[in-house]
Chains A and B, each alone.
Chain A
């Protein structure tokens, strides 16, 4: 039993270490220096092992600490009910939610898939040793926090001590009373990572009970908790016997550990799934055609056949923006005293709009669709990669991307100018123009930025996987810069002028770079 546990732990550790090395190899610049023989480098293996063990220890406490602190501790203060009772109330219901979403034993994880399905380890021994290890880790990881946070809220020590066991017992009960008997009877195991509608309804119901009822002043008390705890001890012991004596874990795992289940979560966000979804978005009826020729013909058909994908979100964005400004105008009309406060929105908070324009820009989705449904195939043709064709298509795309993103941008620009005017105007009339130009330049900037980055750093390989870490880093950097500007109160006049100059200069430089380098850089990654 111990041998099986050690082997499975070693296996888990090995792929964890390999993942760490893989991440290091994925870093820009560093990946050029590091050889692929890195995986056998002893020093790195030791380093990876240390990180992996440290992570095992830290993760045992970190998430649980955050959970007890944020979900239980902080939320307790959100209600006016008795603190101890509220703490216990939220604890009981969030524990129930947790047990439904992750039983440990029947969670289709990769380590189970590798060990039982691929490496054919003894399923019963693997299941039980790893399960009890996880339960032990759970109790140890939770204990310090239920004690510290519990005592801070004046929860009796014995109750604090019992709480981790309560979580463990409920996990055991879900398996022993529900899952195993259900499998024995119906030969089915549910994938916890893909809850059914019924499960979602149950989770919503528990969420309402746990976090909604305290608002109404309805919470359980210590006595109810103690009763629940003792019931869980009795049912837990019965379940424990069921879990230990059950001998068909192999059969359970054969049903559960299908590739589809194990990779369900990754698959949803994988480029393959994104590609399949984008491919579904091709609209075709014989009527959709184009009178243009060459690149313009090609691009117009792309736009027309993807019109929903390209414009649906933009329509929604624009309507929402118009709606928000309409509400603001009505508020000003009904309550003129708010004018002064709202006047500062366009005059001081313009930096906020960098982030807003970043969020609204559809560059990522559109370039992704361009790759998945068009360039993925076209780039395999050498003729499509000639400078003439690349730049011809690039120009058509740039026009479309700028125009599409300008629709919500115009709504914001006009809305802000009107808002400024209706809330009392400004001493410097140039501000109207600056606000308008800033918003429009920001929109153009992001459109150019996304398209140029796509052409200069084309990140996908033939299997539509992202293979260029620099592209990912640039995406994150864009986000952080936009995010950083939130909360910066800079006068519109100076910020607007600087921003407009920056956007125009950046766009011109990057367009120059795209024209110069895209014929070399715009190709499928190998």
Chain B
């Protein structure tokens, strides 16, 4: 399965933020999306998630046939975790499982989901308002992957997590990548190189893949920075 983007354009008034984006993201890989501040990474995600209307172009899922992307096909994890604070972690999950019942394959017990995300037993029945930042982040990710969408967009989700949580999340993402198309935006080069199978940069409104071509990590880094610097 592939996420295909064709001739996607998005302008804010006269500023061309996304210029003719053409790209194919494949299932089974984690893509690291890198770009300078204001390059349009979040705009690209917002367009793919249909939070923002695009000016022209199209994007769709392609396996044997072309399929329009529906709400159930996409999970979008924001950099700041947003969870309904009046619910407990368990209640939030229960609600999400119930409204996605017919889409969840191999539905598990709520506690199994918590175990998968390494959320401690004593925290599961606490109000989300009393969760730490990292815990909220974990719940947000869990809810986004529970319904098993084909595409998962992560907008700098690990930036504010401690190193242990970061490692847990990295392992979790690696464990689910087989059945998903994962695009992961970050500013942390080491994280991108360590976690992602492909590096894609968004520069001057153009999305392009940076091939590693047997370079070692240091040289690959230099190549990425050079590409980001290009005028």
Contacts and interface: CB of A to CB of B under 8 A. Distances in A.
Note whether A and B form a binding pair.
yes
A407 interface: no
A99 to B, nearest CB: 44
Interface in A372-396: 373-374, 376-378, 380-383, 385-386, 388-389, 392
B52 A526 contact: yes
Contacts of B14: 35
A338 B213 CA distance: 96
Question: By CB atoms of chain B within 10 A, which of A279, A305, A382 has the most?
Answer: A382
A262 B76 CA distance: 37
B141 to A, nearest CB: 12
B172 to A, nearest CB: 18
- Among A279, A306, A378, residue most surrounded by chain B Cβ atoms (within 10 Å): A378
Contacts of A213: none
A395 to B, nearest CB: 14
Interface in A30-66: 35-37
A380 B95 contact: no
Given A279-B129, A381-B144, A382-B49, A373 B85 contact: yes
B18 interface: no
Contacts of B49: 382
B71 A383 contact: yes
Contact of B129 (A36, A282, A306, A376): A282
A389 B83 contact: no
Contacts of A279: 85, 129
Contact of B86 (A293, A302, A382): A302
Contacts of A35: 13-14
A522 to B, nearest CB: 12
Interface string B1-24: 000000000000110000000000
B207 to A, nearest CB: 20
Contacts of A385: 71
A523 interface: yes
A302 B147 CA distance: 23
B51 to A, nearest CB: 6
Nearest to B82: A377
A160 B127 CA distance: 65
Nearest to B95: A298
B86 A297 contact: no
Nearest to A373: B86
Q: Label chain A's interface by main secondary structure.
A: helix
B98 A293 contact: yes
Interface residues of A, number: 34
Contact of B127 (A284, A302, A380): A284
B85 A297 contact: no
B82 A376 contact: yes
A285 to B, nearest CB: 10
Q: Which of A284, A293, A526 has the most chain B CB atoms inside 10 A of its CB?
A: A284
A36 B95 CA distance: 42
Nearest to A281: B86
Interface in A319-343: none
A383 B85 contact: no
Nearest to A385: B71
A36 B11 CA distance: 13
A486 interface: no
A377 B74 contact: no
A524 interface: yes
Contacts of A297: 91, 94-95, 98
A418 interface: no
Contacts of B82: 376-378, 380, 462
Interface in B44-100: 46, 49-52, 71-72, 74-76, 78, 80, 82-87, 91, 94-96, 98-100
Given A378-B84, A382-B49, A294 B99 contact: yes
Nearest to B69: A382
Interface string B124-142: 0101010000000000000
19 contacts: A35-B14, A282-B85, A282-B129, A297-B94, A297-B95, A301-B91, A373-B84, A373-B85, A374-B86, A377-B83, A378-B82, A382-B72, A383-B71, A383-B96, A383-B99, A386-B72, A389-B99, A392-B99, A526-B51
> Which 3 residue pairs of A and B lie closest in terms of their CB atoms, listed nearest first?
A377-B82, A305-B86, A386-B71
Given A297-B91, A301-B87, 4 more contacts: A297-B95, A298-B95, A377-B84, A380-B78
